Amino acid sequence: MTMFAAYATRFDRDQPLSGLELGERPEPDARPGWTVVDVRAASINHHDLWSLQGVGLTEESLPMILGCDAAGVDADGNEVVVHSVIGQSGHGVGPREPRSILTERYQGTFAERVAVPAWNVLPKPRELTFEQAACLPTAWLTAYRMLFTNANVRPGDSVLVQGAGGGVATAAIVLGKAAGLRIFATSRDAVKRARAVELGAEEAFEPGARLPHRVDAVIETVGAATWSHSVRSLRPGGTLVISGATSGNTPKAGELNRIFFLELKVVGSTMGTKEELAGLLDFCAASSVRPVIDSVLPLDQAREGLAKMASGDLFGKVVLTV
């Protein structure tokens, strides 16, 4: 038995989409303790482009179906959301296996069906569409953990979100506004700055601009290009939370004096826990918070969706439907 999927067949650091194939792949196995989910929607992340570049994968793992996020229907007919971190707390895999994200050790969600440990499946709130729910398990969960666990901000605190338009940054603006935070954002694109204000940012600025005042926390996913601005924008004792470096991972070291002199905190953040995803789902269901979707494409147009991600010509999430 086979199913339609979008998958990586080889790596190319300069032209990652050259390694993408669309076609038939074997149906997933429902091993003991695992379940098979019929995918209704899956969203695209930078992680998918990195996989096509060979980050986190080896030649031996190819071909690998891409996709970390999914919402769909389980074998019992329940509408569900997939938590994409496999091996967290050992559920579904051996106790010594390190945690991984779907597409690193196990086949991903850009397919008609995906197999995951039963522990990794959460009920989809009826208030959310499949397309909306599919945006949450990676980018939105990352933003949720960055804000409320690692930055530990409270209503009334101020937060700078670098790089408005990306999935995590967009999520941080919407979630922060809904939680009573004062949000500032940056973007090189005037249209994206205007959109950030529409979504709840108090003001949006060009990268590097002086803010009205120093902030309690910075949400950093851009990396080297915005690092100095992020450090300089923090109040004494403030927190810089970083979960990515799309512009490069070698920032200037010139801000080290400021970091120790002002006792700034720099915190790394990766994905989130199943409990945090459950909290995020509840937050969305109980409020008007909904993921920002740039576009919805059928799975057979995955190449166009990934090209959109690679170009940066998007605001919010690109979702693939099955």
* CATH code for the domain in which residue 253 is found: 3.40.50.720
The pTM assigned to this predicted structure is: 0.93
Under DSSP, the state recorded for 259 is H
Q: What is the CATH number of the domain that holds 10?
A: 3.90.180.10
One domain for residues 155 and 119: no
- pLDDT score of 97 more than 90: no
pLDDT tier at 63 (50, 70, 90 boundaries)? very high
Q: Do 42 and 83 share a structural domain?
A: yes
Report if residue 286 sits inside a domain. no
- Same domain flag for 153 and 102: no
- How far CA 64 is from CA of 26, 36, 68, in Å, comes to 11, 17, 12
- With a cut of 70, say whether residue 180 has pLDDT above it: yes
The rounded distance, in Å, linking the Cα atoms of 153 and 141 is: 16
Q: What is the mean pLDDT of residues 21-36?
A: 94
CA distance 110 to 220: 28
Is 164 contained in some domain? Answer: yes
Flag whether 284 is in a domain: no
Q: Kindly tell me if the per-residue pLDDT of 222 is higher than 90.
A: no
- Inside any domain, residue 273: no
Q: Identify whether residues 115 and 172 lie together within a single domain.
A: no
In the prediction, which pLDDT does 225 show? 87
In a domain, 281, yes or no: no
Average pLDDT, integer, range 276-281: 98
Report yes or no on 104 lying in a domain.
yes
What is the domain extent for residue 234? Answer: 143-268
Distance of CA 141 to the CA centre of its chain: 7
The pLDDT confidence band at residue 313, using thresholds 50, 70 and 90, is confident
Query: CA–CA separation, 16 vs 48, rounded Å?
Result: 10
Indicate if 216 and 317 belong to the same structural domain.
Answer: no
**Quick check: is 279 in a domain?**
no
- Cα gap 81→18, rounded to integer Å: 30
Residue 275 lies in a domain: no
Q: Specify the number of domains making up the chain.
A: 2
Mark whether 178 and 124 lie in a shared domain: no
For residue 4, pLDDT beyond 90: yes
Q: Within this chain, do residues 18 and 86 fall inside the same structural domain, yes or no?
A: yes
Same domain, 183 and 306: no
pLDDT band at 223 (very low <50, low <70, confident <90, very high): confident
Check whether residue 44 and residue 131 sit in a common domain.
yes
> With contact defined as beta carbons under 8 Å apart, do 127 and 135 qualify?
no
Are both 188 and 72 inside the same structural domain? no
Whole-number Å distance between alpha carbons of 137 and 291: 11
Q: What is the pLDDT of residue 160?
A: 98
**The pLDDT of residue 248 is above 80:** no
| Domain match, 80 and 102 both | yes
Residues whose CB falls within 8 Å of the CB of residue 228, separated by 6 or more in sequence, listed in order: 251, 252, 254, 255
Give me the percent of the chain exceeding a pLDDT of 90.
85
Strands 121-123 and 293-298, how do they pair? unpaired
For position 254, what pLDDT does the model report?
A: 64
Residue 250 host element (H or E): none
For the record, the structure tokens of 89 come out as 């707390």
